[in-house]
Chain A
Amino acid sequence: MTAETLLKVEGVETFYGNIRALAGVDVEVKKGEIVSLIGANGAGKSTLMMTICGSPQARTGKVIFEGQDITHMPTHEIARLRIAQSPEGRRIFPRMTVYENLQMGASLDNQKFFNEDVEKMFTLFPRLKERQFQRGGTLSGGEQQMLAIARALMARPKLLMLDEPSLGLAPLVSKQIFAAIKLLNEQQGLTVFLVEQNAFAALKLSHRAYVLVNGSITMSGSGSELLANPEVRAAYLEGGAH
Chain B
Amino acid sequence: MATVTNPSTASTGSLTAKALREATFTAVMTFLMFVLFVGLKTDQNMRNELILVPRWGLLAIFVIIAFVGRFAMVAWLQPWRTARKAAKDAAPAQTTDAGFVKRNFSKLAILALVLYPPIILSLFGAQGSLKYIDNFGIQILIYVMLAWGLNIVVGLAGLLDLGYVAFYAVGAYSYALLSINFGFSFWILLPLAGILSAFWGIILGFPVLRLKGDYLAIVTLAFGEIIRLVLINWQDVTQGTFGISGIPKITLFGIPFDASPHGFAKIFNLPMSSAYYKVFLFYLILLLCLLTAFVTIRLRRLPIGRAWEALREDEIACRSLGINTVTTKLTAFAIGAMFGGFAGSFFAARQGFVSPESFVFLESAVILSIVVLGGMGSLTGIAIAAIAMVGGTELLREMDFLKHIFGPDFTPELYRMLIFGLAMITMMLVRPRGFVGSREPTAFLFERKNVSGSFTKEGHG
Q: A: which residues have CB within 8 A of B?
A: 53, 55, 74-77, 79-80, 84-85, 87, 91-97, 99-100, 103-105, 107-108, 110, 132-135, 137-138, 151, 155
Q: Are B323 and A107 in contact (CB under 8 A)?
A: yes
Q: Are A100 and B441 in contact (CB under 8 A)?
A: yes
Q: Are A76 and B317 in contact (CB under 8 A)?
A: no
Q: Are B443 and A100 in contact (CB under 8 A)?
A: yes
Most B C-beta atoms less than 10 A away, residue of A80, A87, A95, A97: A95
Q: Are A107 and B443 in contact (CB under 8 A)?
A: no
Of the A-B pairs whose beta carbons lie under 8 Å apart in the complex, a sample of 6, sorted by A's number, is A76-B323, A84-B320, A94-B456, A96-B309, A99-B444, A155-B321
Q: Which residue of B lies closest to A55 (CB)?
A: B319
Which residues 79-126 of B sit at the A interface, judged by CB distance below 8 A? Answer: none
**Nearest CB on A from B236, distance (A):** 43
Known pairs A94-B313, A103-B443; list 13 more (Cβ under 8 Å): A75-B320, A76-B319, A80-B322, A87-B316, A92-B317, A95-B309, A95-B456, A96-B313, A103-B306, A104-B310, A107-B306, A135-B456, A138-B456
Q: Which residues of B contact A95 (CB under 8 A)?
A: 309, 313, 439, 456, 460-461
Q: Are B316 and A79 in contact (CB under 8 A)?
A: no
Q: A99-B445, A133-B441, A133-B449 are in contact. Are A151 and B321 (CB under 8 A)?
A: yes
The answer to whether B182 has its CB under 8 Å from any CB of chain A is no
The answer to whether B457 has its CB under 8 Å from any CB of chain A is yes
Q: Which residues of B contact A108 (CB under 8 A)?
A: 321-322
Across the interface, B313 reaches (CB within 8 A) one of A74, A93, A97, A132, namely A93
Q: Are A76 and B443 in contact (CB under 8 A)?
A: no
Across the interface, B443 reaches (CB within 8 A) one of A99, A105, A110, A151, namely A99
Q: Which residue of A lies closest to B460 (CB)?
A: A94
**Nearest CB on A from B446, distance (A):** 9
Chain B, residues 319-339, CB within 8 Å of chain A (1/0): the string is 111111100000000000000
The answer to whether B442 has its CB under 8 Å from any CB of chain A is yes
Q: B: which residues have CB within 8 A of A?
A: 303, 306-307, 309-310, 313-314, 316-325, 439, 441-445, 449, 451, 455-457, 460-461
Q: Which residues of B contact A133 (CB under 8 A)?
A: 441, 444, 449, 451
Q: Are B322 and A107 in contact (CB under 8 A)?
A: yes
Q: Which residues of B contact A76 (CB under 8 A)?
A: 318-319, 321-325
Q: Which residues of B contact A77 (CB under 8 A)?
A: 322
Q: Which residues of A contact B314 (CB under 8 A)?
A: 91-93
Across the interface, A138 reaches (CB within 8 A) one of B303, B310, B455, namely B455
Q: Are A96 and B319 in contact (CB under 8 A)?
A: no
In the complex, A69→B319 CA distance in Å? 19
Across the interface, B320 reaches (CB within 8 A) one of A87, A99, A103, A135, namely A87
Q: A99-B445, A100-B442 are in contact. Are A137 and B322 (CB under 8 A)?
A: no
Across the interface, B316 reaches (CB within 8 A) one of A91, A100, A104, namely A91
In the complex, A108→B320 CA distance in Å? 11
**Nearest CB on A from B243, distance (A):** 43
Across the interface, A97 reaches (CB within 8 A) one of B318, B325, B451, namely B451
In the complex, A108→B323 CA distance in Å? 8
In the complex, A95→B376 CA distance in Å? 13
Q: Which residue of A lies closest to B327 (CB)?
A: A76
In the complex, A87→B320 CA distance in Å? 9
Q: Which residues of A contact B324 (CB under 8 A)?
A: 74, 76
Q: Which residues of A contact B457 (CB under 8 A)?
A: 94, 137
**Nearest CB on A from B36, distance (A):** 45
In the complex, A137→B445 CA distance in Å? 20
In the complex, A135→B460 CA distance in Å? 13
Q: Are B319 and A107 in contact (CB under 8 A)?
A: no
Q: Which residue of B lies closest to A151 (CB)?
A: B321
Q: Which residues of B contact A96 (CB under 8 A)?
A: 309-310, 313, 441
In the complex, A80→B451 CA distance in Å? 31
In the complex, A74→B455 CA distance in Å? 35
In the complex, A74→B317 CA distance in Å? 14
Q: A107-B303, A133-B441, A133-B449 are in contact. Are A85 and B320 (CB under 8 A)?
A: yes
**Nearest CB on B from A87, distance (A):** 6
Q: Which residues of A contact B321 (CB under 8 A)?
A: 76, 79, 84, 104-105, 107-108, 151, 155
Q: A99-B444, A100-B442, A137-B456 are in contact. Are A75 and B319 (CB under 8 A)?
A: yes
**Nearest CB on B from A153, distance (A):** 12
In the complex, A77→B321 CA distance in Å? 9
Q: Which residues of A contact B460 (CB under 8 A)?
A: 94-95, 137
Most A C-beta atoms less than 10 A away, residue of B324, B443, B451: B443
Q: Are A91 and B317 in contact (CB under 8 A)?
A: yes
Q: Which residues of B contact A80 (CB under 8 A)?
A: 322
